[in-house]
Chain A
Amino acid sequence: MPGEFATYWMNAAMLEQLLQLNYWPLIGIPVVVLGFALRFNPLLVVTVAGLITGWAVNMDMFALLETFGDKFLSSRQLASFLLILPVIALLERHGLKEHAQNWIATVKGVTTRGILSLYFVVREVSAALGLLSLGGHAQTVRPLLSPMAEAAATNQYGPLPKPVRDNIAAHAAACDNVALFFGEDIFIAFGAVLLMDAFLKENGIAGIEPLHIGLWAIPTALAALVIHLFRLSRLEARIRRDIARHQQANQHPNQQEVPSSGQVADTPASSQTAGSDL
């Protein structure tokens, strides 16, 4: 049988190896993918994936519980954003969001793209200098960046429909992630660089300093900057197009099913980005 499957990229020997692999430790992966795809509660999906994986590799039930407890307790620092929320909640109660939006309204010519691009550059450069905690989703994106980016769009186009608002907010979060990830490895004292350095020393490869690793992170960091700023440059047109589409849908409530991408293409905003999907 195996011979019949043999092609130029998979020969019989390879297929045999493929069949001999131990797949049991991998069983958690399809469980997670399926569970997330079927929209079960993620906490349940992850716990069940852990239980099934442990069972598949013959882990003792108590040992499995112990691993659960150990890892949960030793990763408690991941919940530290809970410390930030009281301040944010207090300030939001006293108009932080409103003031951020009023303040943006007084700045002439500011756009969503402009705010997000500026934040991206500042965040990536500061991360490269090791100032990793200058941004963050709880302390910066929710209270400041996202309201300001939304306000810039509101100034230009009036009240935003929920999908447009969500898209801008998601872009604000994405800016923080991309800029942080691809800036931080330039900083030679960052954990990832030290991990790579330790790996090299462990495997007997001499003569590489953390500085070299940090330097070779720069090309990708620049590529991330160029790629993401390019995408942000198209965000403005996307916002215009979505708002035009939303307004058209509202003007013709009886023809909701008609406006497809082809129907809207004659509005000036959408023609610039027809078919694009940021």
Chain B
Amino acid sequence: MSLISIERIYLLIGLIVMYLVWHTLKDKAHPKRLTTALFWGLFGSLFLFGDLAVTWLGEQLAHRIAGAMVIVIALLAGMGKVSAGSYTPRSDAQKQQSARALGNKVFVPALLIPLFTVAATLLLSDVSTGELMLFDPKHQTLAALTLACTLALIAGWRLTGDSPLKAVAESRRLVDSIGWAAILPQMLAMLGGVFVVAQTGDSIKALVSLFVDPNNRFALVAIYCIGMALFTMVMGNAFAAFPVMTAGIALPFLIEQHGASPAPLMAIGMYSGYCGTLMTPMAANFNIVPAALLDLDDKYQVIKVQIPTALTLLATNILLMYFIVFD
């Protein structure tokens, strides 16, 4: 048992999303009020009722219902039925006035989130009373982040006089501007799951292996590194690519046949995968969500900025691996 368990964090996220849905429904000037509310309502209920449904209906039925809801979510977004609403932002002059009145104190809640999360992960992870842990042992960072956000909301309340509920209502502007991108990371995790069941990885491995020349060390290194990057771009995650490519190419050809040193081979191989992560919209939480968070006109601009670094590093990795692993 833990006080801040992952289930409770999901409930909290569900409550926040549902509070936003309620405000969307009240927003009479919203151009797509009902369908936007349905979109976020379905999303929020997967957080509020997901774990309860598994307990009550059994895993199989609950997962099927959740899967059907996900398809409805995708259809609503795909048909353009989800949009931003109307908000009452404060004027620039009012914000400047607040900024002058609060001074550097306005930084305090913002800095509290990262600093407290790190400190709490390091110091509070083992705190417990009897059987009850403070943080979910499997999700310590997330539990620490949740606590940090709560404290920051309280600090913000004391500082500005706006209550946490007001803050959540205010975040509708941000959540709406992120829109469908907020859900994309989970959708991609879902596609990754289908790829695992369909054994897409084995097909990629078979395809890449065809180009292997077992006696050409440099070509082997290049294929392993480029294969890691490509596979990661498809799956959006280097962890999914690593076991398949390493077992398929690195282990039989580089380690067993050419006697390559495993530690640098794997470290650099994994980093080659990360070069792929920088170049793919499939890694939405790193590449697409920030584009939405930062109000960029081009949702692929973060990727475009990262590509030169990623390609240069990939080439560097190939050379590094070639000159390091065979000693």
Contacts and interface: CB of A to CB of B under 8 A. Distances in A.
Interface of A: 14, 17-18, 21-26, 28-29, 32, 36, 40-44, 46-47, 49-50, 53-54, 56-57, 59, 62-100, 102-103, 131-144, 146, 162-163, 166-167, 169-174, 176-178, 181-182, 185, 191-192, 195-196, 199-200, 203, 205, 208, 212-217, 219-220, 223-224, 227-228, 231, 277-278
B67 A87 contact: no
Chain B CB within 10 Å — which of A94, A227, A277 has the most? A94
Contact of B242 (A132, A140, A141, A199): A199
Interface string B264-284: 101110110010011001101
B297 A166 contact: yes
Interface residues of B, number: 148
A21 B60 CA distance: 33
Contacts of B254: none
Interface in B302-318: 302, 304-306, 308-309, 312-313, 316-317
Contacts of B247: 199, 203
A172 to B, nearest CB: 7
B194 A53 contact: yes
Nearest to B149: A83
A187 B9 CA distance: 27
A178 B278 contact: yes
Contacts of A57: 197-199
B118 A174 contact: no
- The dominant DSSP class at the B interface is helix
B107 to A, nearest CB: 7
A94 B326 CA distance: 58
Given A99-B102, A170-B296, A227 B9 contact: no
A110 B301 CA distance: 25
B99 A95 contact: yes
Interface of B: 6, 9-10, 12-13, 16-17, 46-47, 50, 54, 59-60, 62-71, 73-75, 77-78, 80, 89-90, 92, 95-100, 102-104, 106-107, 109-110, 113-115, 117-118, 121, 139, 141-142, 144-146, 149, 152-153, 156, 159-160, 162, 164, 166-168, 170-171, 173-175, 180-195, 197-200, 202-204, 206-207, 210, 234, 238-239, 242-243, 246-247, 251, 255, 262-264, 266-268, 270-271, 274, 277-278, 281-282, 284-291, 293-298, 301-302, 304-306, 308-309, 312-313, 316-317, 320, 324
